Amino acid sequence: MLEDRVSLDLETIPWVPLRKGLSMRPLRFERSGYSLQLRLEPGTRIGPHRHTGPVHALNLTGSRRLIEADEIVGPGEFVYEPAGNCDSWECHGDAPCIIQITLRGRVEYLDEAGEVMDYSDSATAEAAYRAHCAGVGLEADRRIVG
């Protein structure tokens, strides 16, 4: 239905800092999953993690290295990760890397023994977005939070 369609001007959506060298730009939060863009600065690494649902990731700019596969993924390249996939990756090169990601379920961050030490999902990502908006005096965009 056309009345359910959502169009977003990405320039109006803030980058939400998550930690040093890592930020997200949310696109849509739903109960079953979410879409966002991740921005990694050069040298930033996403440590070992496991996906409980499928992941669709399109590199928009920059490159990233999939550590376990020792594979470089560049602009315009797409990576699909099935539920249960465990991996880690990092920004590769001197330019920031921006990846558009759509995923379902949780991202479980693993310690050296493979135990879950933290997680993120649609609800935690939305909470980070809302907290950032509140902290900088913006109203959360209701088209994003569905």
Where do the DSSP E strands lie in the chain? Answer: 16-19, 22-30, 33-40, 45-51, 55-61, 63-66, 71-73, 78-81, 86-92, 97-104, 107-110, 116-120
Q: How confident is the model at residue 146 (pLDDT cuts 50, 70, 90)?
A: low
Query: What is the mean predicted confidence (pLDDT) over 25-48?
Result: 95
User: Is the pLDDT score of 47 beyond 70?
Assistant: yes
Specify the pTM: 0.90
Residues 59-111 pLDDT 10s:
999 999 999 999 999 999 999 999 999 999 999 999 999 999 999 999 999 99
pLDDT of residue 3: 60
Q: What's the pLDDT at 42?
A: 97
Domains and CATH numbers, the chain: 16-135 (2.60.120.10)
The pLDDT score that the predictor gives to residue 1 is 45
